[in-house]
Amino acid sequence: MLLTAKWVLPISQRPIEDGAVVTEGPKIKDIGKFKTMNNKYPDEEVINFGKAIILPGFVDLHTHLEYSVFRGACDDLGYADWKIQLTKKSEILKKGDWILSAYLGALEAIQSGITTIADITKGGASLRAAKDAGLRGIIYYEVTGMDHTKVPEIMIETENNIDKWINQASGTNLTIGFAPHSPYTVSPPLYRSSTGWAREHNFKICTHLAGSKAEYDFVKYGSGRLPNEYWDTVGWGDILWQPTGVSPVKYLEEWGVFDGGNMLAVHCVQVDEADIDILKKYDVSVAYCPRCNAKLGMGIAPLSGFLNCQLRIGMGTDSPASNNTMDIFDEMRIGLLLQRGITRSSGFTAEDFVYMATLGGARAINLHNDIGSLDQGKQADIIAVDMSHSHQIPTRDPYSALVYTANQENVVLTMVAGRILYRNCKYTTLDEAEILKKAEPIRRKLKME
């Protein structure tokens, strides 16, 4: 198959005007100027996207597909209030509701040009949806628990469930990871035991870290709404918590959570230079989720500090529960504008953010040898973005056009491992109408709460 468009963005090299990508099976066979590729491979089927940009599929470095049905259900709240409301509303949903919600998220991911996800899930709904959708990614098994005495019980359950998940993911583009949720939901012994076990079994690890002031105050001072109202909500009201006197990042270091590497930290908003030095010391990668962080009043991550220390950074949409959409174009655009606003400089560019949403995200989860750029031999995870609209013409700089003018509605092709999942507003792996129809009653149920 030969895919061609006005622009091809390999990411690993300069943009190619009037370019083309040749795929063979699940991989990229060649890339270059259209005329050259067409002459070299005259028998290949040609798909011409015209005034469009072809680039690697986006890597969503942090999401929860199964939270998609909560879109608009917990709006205009600060982080602690949002977390409490989300937890209460979650009790309404049954297993089938979570699965449908995850399918809803998979639809949007595909339409948004997201080909790889790093998803955290407790019940496994995201695994089922991502598998059926044909997405690539890491599905992180989430654990929580603040009762020290229950650590052995939690670990036995974890091992049994992860074995089942590995079997379910067999033969797909998905792998299983491990995710202790956060410092305010995972006890120190559980953090230490679980991350040690995960590394022994070579699982990639992810945790929410230093996201909100509420989390920071909980860890350092033992105060705020998380150890009070939230803990009461989840049944931990009788558990005592001693303030640590240190930041969340330092706290996890003291418990050996970063030892051994292979860690992805989500958010990292409430951090200082000393914290960033710790992240660098242990080669912790970071998922930057600017829209979620801004909407929930969490703050703005110090991206300049991360990049100055050469941390591996990628873009995350979080979930429609906190972010309303999984539009990674909006994520890049707003993330870039926020950084330029707080630094009062032009230090960040559109190209920087497209890199973070593709090859940067792939590097953050150590998949850069397979995905993230359009290079010979890499997986054919490819998207095409239409640039023919009046607000996009003329397209002189494809990076600028992607970040400043495009959105998820402009995606006209989503391909994973050479398999087309979405083309010209039609899904090939999922029944959009059926999913939307079945999801509507769940939305009404949440609205009535």
Q: Is residue 438 domain-resident?
A: no
Same domain, 15 and 75: no
Domain carrying residue 29: 2-56+379-432
Same domain, 269 and 284: yes
Backbone angles phi, psi at 352, to 5 degrees: -55, -40
Same domain, 36 and 99: no
* Last residue of one domain, picked from the residues 364, 398, 419: 364
Q: Is residue 444 domain-resident?
A: no
pLDDT for 391: 84
Same domain, 137 and 247: yes
Predicted TM-score (pTM) of the model is 0.96
pLDDT for 448: 57
Same domain, 331 and 392: no
pLDDT for 393: 81
Same domain, 51 and 183: no
pLDDT for 443: 81
Q: Is residue 370 domain-resident?
A: no
User: What letters, b where the CB count within 10 A reaches 16 and e where it falls short, cover 214-231?
Assistant: bbbbbbbeeebbbbeebb
Of 56, 61, 63, residue with least CA distance to 11: 56
Same domain, 62 and 52: no
Q: Is residue 374 domain-resident?
A: no
Pairing of β 52-56 and β 382-386:
antiparallel
Domain count for the chain: 2
Q: Is residue 437 domain-resident?
A: no
* Last residue of one domain, picked from the residues 335, 364, 393: 364
Same domain, 93 and 25: no
Same domain, 163 and 278: yes
Half-sphere exposure of 334 (CA within 13 A, CB side): 20
Q: Virtual CA dihedral for 134, 136, 138, 141, nearest 10 degrees?
A: -10
pLDDT for 377: 98
Same domain, 48 and 87: no
Same domain, 144 and 43: no
Q: Is residue 172 domain-resident?
A: yes
Give me the tens of pLDDT residue by residue for the chain, a chain 449 residues long: 999 999 999 999 999 999 999 999 999 999 999 999 999 999 999 999 999 999 999 999 999 999 999 998 889 999 999 999 999 999 999 999 999 999 999 999 999 999 999 999 999 999 999 999 999 999 999 999 999 999 999 999 999 999 999 999 999 999 999 999 999 999 999 999 999 999 999 999 999 999 999 999 999 999 988 988 999 999 998 998 999 999 999 999 999 999 998 899 999 999 999 999 999 999 999 999 999 999 999 999 999 999 999 999 999 999 999 999 999 999 999 999 999 998 877 789 999 999 999 999 999 999 999 999 999 999 999 999 999 987 878 778 999 999 999 999 999 999 999 999 999 999 999 999 999 999 888 888 887 55
pLDDT for 449: 55
**CATH code for the domain in which residue 32 is found:** 2.30.40.10
pLDDT for 440: 86
Same domain, 7 and 94: no
pLDDT tens by residue, 435-448? 999 988 888 888 75
pLDDT for 259: 95
**CATH code for the domain in which residue 264 is found:** 3.20.20.140
Q: Is residue 372 domain-resident?
A: no
